[in-house]
Amino acid sequence: MKPIVRVLVVDDDALVRAGLTMMLDGADGIAVVGEASDGDQVQGAADVHGPDVVLMDLRMPRVDGITATRRLRSRPRPPEVIVLTTFDTDENILHALRAGASGFLLKDTPPARIAEAVRQVAAGEPILSPRITRRLMDKVTVQAGAYSSARASLAGLSPRERDVALAIGRGHGNAEIGAALDMTLATVKSHVSHILTKLSLGNRTQIALLVHDAGLV
């Protein structure tokens, strides 16, 4: 029997929280273990409920989702975070990904897709559409020095690790990377783990962003 994915729902709209809770509680292998109505409640709720995945609204009155995500992801053994938004062109989404979120969903995403995204992120796979990710990345100007810093960071990887990092930057999943680079799935996962450790990153989404900053995709 597969373990239940524990979810914390964070949104300042009570109707949105109720809708997500009702929908996810009825999904196979998922349980909503808690709710929070603002970003300043997230860390306390995570301590109490121990979620595997947090569905995080971006715009909240006291502490926004970006700040809450950054604080949450800086903790030891943090849960994965999926940010929620109404607009897929909002630059704040990309900032949330840089803060450590594993992906994002639009609030009008079909229920079955939201449930699948929760399972996917809990299993260690980000939920980034290459098309949407490219649109978001193109909206953000790389800060001065970020290009050189990203290039220097990636230079510390082995040639095979660099190949994997570039594939992640292109939006490829582990199975696709394995097929393209003639690696087993276990080898791909091992390379991803080594890349995260070497670059002091929290998840593969941040690898993709670093590759973008380096101008390699």
pLDDT in tens, 50-82: 999 999 998 899 999 999 999 998 888 899 999
Whole-structure pTM value: 0.72
pLDDT in tens, 139-195: 555 555 677 888 899 999 999 999 999 998 888 888 899 999 999 999 999 999 999
152, 199 Cβ separation under 8 angstroms: no
Output the pLDDT for position 84: 85
b/e map 78-97, b = 16+ CB within 10 Å? bbbbbbbbeeeebebbbbbb
- Give alpha helix (H) positions in 26-173: 42-49, 65-73, 91-98, 111-122, 130-138, 146-155, 159-169
CATH code: domain 5-138 is: 3.40.50.2300
CATH code: domain 146-213 is: 1.10.10.10
pLDDT in tens, 186-212: 999 999 999 999 998 888 888 888 888
Strand order in the sheet with 53-57: 30-36, 5-10, 53-57, 80-85, 103-106
**Which residue ranges make up each domain of the chain?**
5-138, 146-213
Output the pLDDT for position 95: 80
